[in-house]
Amino acid sequence: MSNSPANFSGYDTPVSDLESIVPVHPTSARRPDYITVQSENTVYTHDHISAKYSYRGADVIVSDGQFTVTPTVKPFEFQTERKVGKTGLMMVGMGGNNGTTLCATILANKHNISWHTKDGIQQPNYIGSVLRASTVRIGTEPGSGKEVHVPISDVLPMVHPNDLVLGGWDISGAPMDKAMERACVLDYDLQRQVAPHMALLGRPLPSIYYPDFIAANQEARADNVIPGADKQVHLDHIRSDIRRFKADNNLDRVVVFWTANTERYSDIVPGVNDTADNLLAAIRSSHSEVSPSTLFAVAAILEGEPFVNGAPQNTFVPGVIELAERHKSFIGGDDLKSGQTKLKSVLAEFLVNAGIKPLSIASYNHLGNNDGHNLSAEPQFKSKEISKSSVVDDMVNANRLLYKPPAPGATGKAAKGEHPDHIVVIKYVPAVGDSKRAIDEYYSEIFCGGRQTINIFNECEDSLLATPLILDLTILTELLTRIKYRDLSTRQADFVPLYPVLSLLSYMCKAPLVKPGTDVVNSLGRQRNALEAFLKACIGLEAKGDLLLETRIW
């Protein structure tokens, strides 16, 4: 794929250096379909894997402090299309730190380019990807009882990241090799070798730039924008870009992914963005509260292609969700959960589940990349603060022994009931570049009035944590477009697609988008369990059995 003609001038690295012969890392290896479930509930055909699954739950009636529990079982059948189509990834913000890092590392894996570091030879890999670098338990060996684990990417047919066709937009017109150099994320020797491959990607397509939505300090980069201020024209332009990219590269599917700057929050205005029809009318009238990310989401929805938001702003205003429902087009997000928030979603749950009461959580960050530069503006920081601050809500709500429930009729902050004090600070420090520092203090109440303080210092390379999440979200989104279901309890005859809001992406997102009217789950453990259980259900296996009953009886 190329957005524009490539220019190889200045590159004379020999091919033998570019494509060193080194073993392929296990996370990048290709494996055949080798999992077969032998069950009356699972059927394999040339085109599909069909699996019947009993979804077990419980109905609870609460009356006068008494709980009456009735177990429930609901039968479903899932159908997964086995053929993985040719898939394109169009990134908004392709020339930024995340976009260039993703393109360069995919190319390094694809061409098996190893490089020199101060610690020796580094092999390309997909470490940090949940799908490519972690495993799931599928059962035990008969007799020995030894647990058997397989890579998550092998449970169902998934696109290999090396096969993604790369493209996208950016408000900066720097060629992709120069944009990679500007990002200062990857080791020099890797940049040197992968630069000719990056040059083949050319320049990003012109993008949408509305100065009111991102920090003023980004203006200097905005030299590659779609002209004019007519938002309907901009929407049509983006739709045309998607169609052309799909046709030029003979693609079956395009995933559109926002990895550009964090925007300020859009005001939810009745008559403007509260319904699908109002939103489309607001676009036609170029209303000021229609953001660039919302335009890209609408473009993808109208083209029937999935859209994922990797930033914290409220791209998915009510009108976008209604439009996705109308067109049965998939959306997911929000905001990549890579470091501090991921750890918080584990540690806060651990403390509450251990019967310890966090009283306050104070989180401080500083970083020096362009994301930090943009977030140094207050409106953009508020978007990030909101996505980071809600991460402990469901854990608190699950334990009203420790936290008082909200008073009847409470509104605003009081509607949450008793809650830990929670503060988030982000500062821009150019000297540290992409190396983000995160400092957290957890101050908790323990036995009989005691206190406990846990301090954590986390230093990480921001884009190298975020990039694998973009891959996971893209690969999982593509898979979910190939999965249909039917409710056997209603004798439903036809298989239908999943609900358009892909809440199964929650594991990778700080502020998970969920079906309207349903609770948000932020617990990392529960998010992971849900993903594992769903993938296993699609091949007719029960969810993870940590009861291990065979080890606890004669």
Q: Which residues are catalytic?
A: 335, 384, 436, 510
Q: Sign of the CA dihedral 210, 293, 177, 188?
A: positive
Residues 251, 239: Cα–Cα separation, whole Å: 15
What amino acid is encoded at 536 in this protein? Answer: K
**156 beta partners:** none
CA–CA distance, 109 with 95 (Å, rounded to integer): 19
Residue type at 251 in one-letter notation = L
Burial class (CB in 10 A: 0-12, 13-18, 19+), 484: middle
Residue 214: how many CA atoms within 13 Å on its side-chain side?
24
Within 8 A by CB and 6+ apart from 490, the residues are none
Are 331 and 393 in contact by the 8 Å Cβ rule? The answer is no
Token pair listed for 314: 């409220």
Instruction: Indicate the DSSP class of residue 85.
Output: -
Q: Which two tokens stand for residue 162?
A: 């090396």
Residue with tokens 């420090």: 429
Residue linked to tokens 């989401």: 297
460 is written with which tokens? 């990480």
| Helical (H) or strand (E) element with 81 | strand 66-81
**Distances from the Cα of 236 to the Cαs of 121, 244, 248, 357, 516, in angstroms?**
47, 12, 18, 52, 28
Task: Give Cα 90 to chain centroid, integer Å.
Answer: 15
Quote the CA–CA distance of 543 and 535 in Å, as a whole number: 9
Cβ neighbours around 540 below 10 Å, total: 20
Q: What is the DSSP string of 177-203?
A: HHHHHHHT-S-HHHHHHHHHHHHHT-S
